[in-house]
Structure 1
């Protein structure tokens, strides 16, 4: 390789033709106007799923903790499955983008537990299906 190529900036380097680039799966990205509605939908879906799988009455402290976990899981699903940027998710939940990053890290760490991993995977499938259905209705 000529040394001239190494000195070129990234913008000046010749780009590989689109057909020759390795395939990268693109996640659907919601438009800015859809983000708050989708975040609310995912949060409601997560809450309903948690309530369906929960088998005990929660005390006040447990109730706050449950709400926190629901919000963290919803943020994670919005970011990972729906491909929304953390900076767009944060205002929908009344939080900062760094809080969304922390929520994603917490959920990712808990996915080592098989039952929790299955729960989150189910939510991801549901959210992805709902999002695709919403996009399909709009495209017609």
Structure 2
């Protein structure tokens, strides 16, 4: 399983959103798109996967990943949202990178 697939599985379970919906290459409803954006952000920032590769893993292009990273960075100014993303990042570190917390 690729690292992006693992991240998709993690955010899918965390947010209770269908992995199939996240993987769907067509336009998604806003809640699904937001979960995908958080997943792309985590794949790029935590796992250090280049944006082009994250795009391939999420069936999107590099510019979509760049947009997602920028959005999530902006949204992290909200304390509650930041806490949620922090939890996702920790899960990705532990479950994908196999690091200890």
Specify the TM-score bucket, using the shorter chain as the normaliser.
0.7 to 0.9
Conserved 8 A contact 2:46-2:89: yes
2:69 maps to 1:104? yes
Quote the residue 2:9 is aligned against. 44
For normalisation by structure 2, the TM-score amounts to 0.80
Q: What is the Cα deviation at residue 64 of structure 1?
A: 1.4
2:29 maps to 1:75? no
For normalisation by structure 1, the TM-score amounts to 0.59
Structure of higher CA gyration radius? 1
Quote the residue 1:94 is aligned against. 59
Q: How many residues align?
A: 89
Conserved 8 A contact 2:40-2:65: yes
Following TM superposition, the consecutive aligned residue runs of length 4 or more in structure 1 with deviations greater than 2 angstroms are none
Unaligned regions of 5+ residues in structure 1, if any? 1-33, 53-62, 136-140
Report the aligned-residue RMSD.
Answer: 1.9
Listed as ranges, the matches of 1:49-68 within 5 Å are 49-51=14-16, 64-68=29-33
Unaligned regions of 5+ residues in structure 2, if any? 18-27
